[in-house]
Structure 1
Amino acid sequence: MVRDEERPLRADARRNRDKILAAAVRVFAEEGLNAHLERIAREAGVGTATLYRNFPTREALVEAAHRNEVAQLCDVVTELLAAKPPYEALRAWTRLFMDYATAKLGMADALRALAASGGDPYARSHDMIRDAIATLMDACAAAGAIRADISPADMFAALAGIALTSAKPEQRAQAERLLDLTLDGLKSAPA
């Protein structure tokens, strides 16, 4: 017998769930953990019953919103590599990482409260992000576009540092400069 949480969602239910998650990220980023769930439902264009059917608790919604943001960030790697040369795909992805970091910064209080209550919103996110970076860096290295002596863990640390110092929306120009500096440092030296 298939349990409810294992059944695939109907297309309309999937769309509603996605709209709720996107609205949750925006509203939690603006208002923090105490944001009204009714506002999230309203911004998603669904009723509160639909929100609670998908996410019975505030904590479940915070965790799902964060995991969804990480999944979207990591899933786009394949599309970027199909559409752009590897180095340009890596460059584009670092900008998406900063978008993610900005959203995460806005949700920081909600994520901290979830962790304090025993939840682990970061359970797989760091591994997923490192894997995404590794895929991009492997493609770049295979193309001879970047140095081979920098690990995905090093790159993740650099991106996390930039995010810690420059993730606020008003700091975006600084973040762009720091990303360019980091990426320039990755480039292979000319032969």
Structure 2
Amino acid sequence: MSSLNPGCRVITAGRGFGPDHVRPLAPLRPLGVPTRDFRPYVPESRATHPGPKRQHVSRLEQTMAVRRELETLNRQQCLDLLHTVRVGRLVFTEDALPAVQPVNFRLYQDYIVIRVAGGGKLRAATGNAVVAFQADELDPDLREGWSVTVVGHANLILDTDELVELSGIWLQPWVSGRRDHFIRIEAEKVTGRRLYTEAAVQSQTA
């Protein structure tokens, strides 16, 4: 037994046992040292009085849950909305193909008025062509907004009094260069739609 390592014991019960049946003793734990608990810690207040599980709802989820309505606007509603914006899109024909360009504009006597230097927009006006104009104001986060489309003949403004009024600070171009031509788009066909929530309508009428 002297050749065995300390801390080992030999099982001698029965016959046929020898040094090959030696196994190490389990390490002794000092008295008074508690066994480590690997369970997650749970505060006593939560363990004894569990509260309701809080549900986190993002702004996008709230927006998607709100019911929306699509309203068809009448002519006067469309014109009133056009007064609130300054930029739209002019749709005309250039070289026998449709063209779309953003333009700054003003609503003058229920006409869409833009200021140009030349090019396809001027040719469309001098040819009394039918053009379209579209403007909108949309909120992608709230998923609300409106869109208005005007279709009518385009023609040059030649009246001196109108040119004097329009050439002042009332309608100024955004880019440099001379833009001496004023084009009027007659509002022959005006259509519009507005996307809104029921809560927004109730708050406006309250």
Q: Same fold (TM over 0.5)?
A: no
Q: TM-score, normalising length from structure 1?
A: 0.21
Q: TM-score, normalising length from structure 2?
A: 0.20
Q: Which of the pair is proportionally richer in strand?
A: 2
- Larger CA Rg, structure 1 vs 2: 2
